[in-house]
Structure 1
C-alpha cells in the first residue's frame, strides 16, 4: 500500500482544467480546415508544421522522418451496364484493365460454393462485401473463370479498400451499396457490360512527425496515431481525432516524469498501407524497439460512445483493470500498431469503431467530450504502465 502511494505521488498528473478541456477538439478543427490530408501532398507539409509547432509549445523537440513508397492511384474507373455508367473505386492491388464481358451476379459473398451456382467463365462477376477477405473473393472469381470482379459495399458510402498487399490477376472495382443495389436486384442472366480499372503507381514521400523531450533516446512507451486521410475526406474522426488525443496527452504529461519515458509519433501514409509506421519500425535501432514496453495507438476515437481497446492480451487486461468500463474487441489489425506488433512490441489499440462518415467528404466533425474522455483513459493507462 505504501508503494502504491509513493508511485502515485511521483507521477501524479495535473487535474484537467477548463482551459485544457476542448484543446483536442481545437486541434481536430485546425487539421480539418487544411482539407484532405493525403500523403505526398502540400497539405501534409502544413499539417506536419502545425503538429511540430504544438509539440514544441509543450516543450518537446521534434523531427520529421521522411520515407518514400509507391502509391496505387485511381485515374477514373467505372462500370458501364447498358447506357448507365457508374464510377467506382479500384481495390488497391488490382491490375489495370478494360474488360468488355457479360455481367453475372454471384449469390452471396463470393465463396467457392457461391460461384458453383452460376457460370462466370469469361464474365464480370458481381459479389457482395462481407464475411471473407476481398482477396479470397477475387481468387475464387478468378478460379471460376471470371475476367473481372465488381464488389458491392454492404453499407452506405464508397468502398475504399485493399487486397491486403496482394496483386490480382484480374481487374477489381468496388461500388457503393447505393450504386450496386440495382445490379444485385437484377436477375442472374448475363448482360453486356464494360468494367474499366484505370490506375497507376506513383512515388510518394511521407512525413512522420516525431516528438520527445530532449535527450530521451530510449522510451519505454510510444504513443502514436496517423494524421493522413483518404482523398476527398477531411478526416476529422479518421484520424485527426487520434492525432489530437496523442498531442493532448503529450501536453498533459510534459511536466511529469512520465514524459521522460515516452515518445509521440504522428504517422503518415497509414491509409495507403501503414507505410509511416512500417518505415519507423524498419529504421529504428533494434535496441529502441526491444526497450519498448508498449505502443499505444489511437485511431477513430471522436465518434461513437463506446471506447474499445484491443491488442496484446496482457496489455488489454491491464487496460481493463485500469478502466473497468472499457469494451474490448478481438481484432486489432489494420492500423499502425500492427507494424509494431509484427516487431514483437506489445500493443494497445484505442478505437470507437466505424461510423457513417468513414472515408467520405462528410468526415468533418467529432465530439470534443469523447476526445477528452479518450485522453483521460489514455493518461490513466500510461500512468499504470509506467
Structure 2
C-alpha cells in the first residue's frame, strides 16, 4: 500500500524556517521522541520530521505502508518483596503471572540439570548458553516448572527468541538481576506479552519526474524497545537525509531515491517490502547504498558488499573495505534481488541495542556522507544498471 505527500513549493516555503536543519538538529530533535520502535508514536514523529526535511528541500515524499506480525513485550518483570526487577519476555513465551519460590537450577537448563532439583510448580532460574532457549523452556516444562527465568552471561538486557509458541511464562534478565535472585525466595514473575500485527511505513523521497533512479540511498529509521537508537540507526538516517540535502540542487538528485526503512529491527521488514513492491524500480538500479551505525567510531569507516563497489569506494574515497558482507541490514534484500550494494558501517559499539545508545558524532556522519558521495559519483560512471 502506498500513500503520497507532494512537496509543493508553497508547502516547502512554509516549512523552510522550521524544517531545514543540519545533522546536529536532526539528532537532537529526533532523540527527544524516545525509542522509535516500528508502530510507535515516537517512530511516527520521527517520520513526520524527516518528511518535512525532504519536502523543504523540494523533494516529493511517499509513504509505503506494509504490515507484519510481531511479538511485543508490554513490560515484563519479576518482583521480589518491594523490589521490581526489569526483564524481557522471551519471544514465543506465553503471558502470565506466577507467584512461587525461586529454584536455581545448576547449569544451563539441560534435562540433567533439572533432575538435580525440584522445580515443580516453582520458578526455575537457569543460565544462558550451550543450548537454545527453546530447549531450556521445554526442559523446564517437562520438569513441571510454572515459570522460567534465563540469566544473561553479561550485565545487559537479553533479547531472546524461543522460536515457537511455548506455554510457559519465560523471562530473560541481566546477569546482575539474576545474581540477586536467591534460592527458595518467593517472587512474582510477570510476563506481559502481545502477539499482533504491526503497521510499518517506509518514507521514500525523490525529485518530481524521477521514476527510474540509478542509485538508492537507504537506512532504517526504527530502533529497538527502550533504546533511543542514536547510533543504531539515527546516525544512518541522518546520513541519508544529509546526502539529500547536499544533492538537492545537483544532477545527482535526478538520479536518486532516498528511502528511510521501517521495521529493520524486526527482520528487515521495510526493505523486504520495498524490494517486493517495486520490482521494476529495483531492477533498474546501478547501486544501493545502505547506512547503519555510522556515528560511533568503533572501527574506521568500512564498506562491504559487491566487489566492484568496494573497489570503487577504496579508490574514490580511501575507505577500508571487504566483501561479501554479512547481510544483516537493509542492503540484504537488494543484494538478493541481484542489485550491487554497498554497506557503510563503523562497527558495533558497547551501547548497541541498549538504553544508553544516546550519542552519535555529527563529524563522523559528515565524513560518511563525504565518502559516500565520492563513491556514488564514481559508481554511476562505472557500474551498469542491474545485473
TM-score (norm 1): 0.76
8 Å CA contact retained: 2:89, 2:172 = yes
| Aligned 1:132-171 pairs, distance under 5 A | 137-142=132-137, 144-146=139-141, 149-159=148-158, 161-163=159-161, 166-168=164-166, 170-171=168-169
| Aligned 1:222-241 pairs, distance under 5 A | 222-241=216-235
SS in 2 for 1:118: helix
Q: Name the counterpart of 2:29.
A: 30
Q: Name the counterpart of 1:68.
A: 67
Q: 1:271 to 1:82 in 2, by over 3 A?
A: same
8 Å CA contact retained: 1:125, 1:141 = no
Q: Does 1:353 align with 2:347?
A: yes
* Partner Cα separation in structure 2 for residue 213 and residue 106 of structure 1: 62
Deviation readout 1:118-165 (Å, 9 max, x if unpaired): 236867352236xx7xxx611332454555553433444423x35297
Q: 1:142 to 1:317 in 2, by over 3 A?
A: farther
Q: What's the offset of the Cα at 1:370? A: 0.8
In structure 1, the gaps of 5 or more residues are: 1-21
TM-score (norm 2): 0.76
Q: Name the counterpart of 2:10.
A: none
Deviation readout 1:363-386 (Å, 9 max, x if unpaired): 332211111111112112212221
Q: Name the counterpart of 2:17.
A: none
> CA RMSD of the aligned region, Å?
3.3
8 Å CA contact retained: 1:221, 1:263 = yes
SS in 2 for 1:336: coil
8 Å CA contact retained: 1:294, 1:348 = yes
8 Å CA contact retained: 1:61, 1:214 = yes
* Partner Cα separation in structure 2 for residue 376 and residue 153 of structure 1: 40
8 Å CA contact retained: 1:106, 1:115 = no
Deviation readout 1:149-184 (Å, 9 max, x if unpaired): 53433444423x35297545644422123323446x
Q: 1:180 to 1:293 in 2, by over 3 A?
A: farther
Q: Name the counterpart of 1:119.
A: 114
Q: What's the offset of the Cα at 1:266? A: 0.8
Q: What's the offset of the Cα at 1:64? A: 1.5
- Structure with larger RCO (C-alpha < 8 A, sep 6+): 1
8 Å CA contact retained: 1:308, 1:329 = no
Q: What's the offset of the Cα at 1:85? A: 4.9
8 Å CA contact retained: 1:36, 1:235 = yes
Q: What's the offset of the Cα at 1:308? A: 2.9
Q: Name the counterpart of 2:204.
A: 210
* Partner Cα separation in structure 2 for residue 343 and residue 144 of structure 1: 41
8 Å CA contact retained: 2:307, 2:323 = no
Q: 1:205 to 1:261 in 2, by over 3 A?
A: same
Q: Name the counterpart of 1:176.
A: 174
8 Å CA contact retained: 1:23, 1:248 = yes
Q: 1:254 to 1:167 in 2, by over 3 A?
A: farther
Q: 1:381 to 1:88 in 2, by over 3 A?
A: same
Q: 1:344 to 1:127 in 2, by over 3 A?
A: farther
In structure 2, the gaps of 5 or more residues are: 1-20, 381-387
